[in-house]
Amino acid sequence: MAEPDATAMPPLPDAIDAETLLSLAEGGLEAAERDLRAAERATVAAMSPWDRQLREIRARLAELSTERRRRVRAAHIAQRASVRELVKSGSMPTLADALAAPDEMYDAATSLAGVKVFLKSGGEVGFGFATRPGTIAFTDGRRQEQAKTWGEARQLAAEGWEPGNVGMAGVRVHLQGSRVERVVGADEVVVAPTPG
């Protein structure tokens, strides 16, 4: 005897048109409902292996997603620890030290958006607003200038300007990949020794 085709749909009772429904007695309505309920049970039973397989596929996909998130978290934690170690060893100077250093860390034309910047705690940030990245505001106490390149930032620092706005010292940074912004001291931000 041939095996039933697992992909075949269970039979569906013929549809009853509106005129015939009006003329059906109560027993006929019950019989039609009984046939439809039986077809529904057969369809649910036929779908059961497919549902089990779908649940298994979804569970495996969820496991893969969890593993990917775990790896991203582990890499993020390792990067933060690495940054903290580089800061302790002096390999990553603070922004204040880098601007005041006699040697150039970067070419003067290097865009500030291209400089790898981190908080001392290890989190990667970018200079400026999240919506307008790549600038550092400097002030002389009365005026304000925006530096967009490493050379401009070094020049303003050499002329005695400090990072910040009039009345608010510090460097505006945003967390990479987010719109979270804050102002931190120039000694709380460290720069990688090579451009990003």
Question: What residue has token string 């893969």?
Answer: 64
Residue 67: its pLDDT value, please? 96
> What's the number of domains the chain is made of?
2
**Is it the case that residue 170 has pLDDT exceeding 50?**
yes
Q: Which of 193, 186, 76, 172 is nearest to 126 (CA)?
A: 172
Residue 148: its pLDDT value, please? 94
Q: Which domain holds residue 180?
A: 92-191
Q: Does 102 share its domain with 184?
A: yes
Of the spans 7-11, 61-65, 141-145, which averages the highest pLDDT? 61-65
100-103 CB contacts, 8 Å cutoff, 24+ apart? 100/157
| Helix-then-strand count for the chain, H and E | 4, 9
35 lies in some domain: yes
Average pLDDT across the chain, whole number: 87
Residue 5: its pLDDT value, please? 55
Q: Does 25 share its domain with 46?
A: yes
Average pLDDT over residues 98-114: 86
Q: Where are the alpha helices (DSSP H) in the chain?
A: 18-23, 26-89, 95-100, 150-158
Give the three-class secondary structure for 114: helix
**pLDDT (tens digit per residue) in 4-36:** 455 678 888 888 888 888 888 888 889 888 999
Residue 196: its pLDDT value, please? 44
**pLDDT (tens digit per residue) in 79-90:** 888 888 888 887
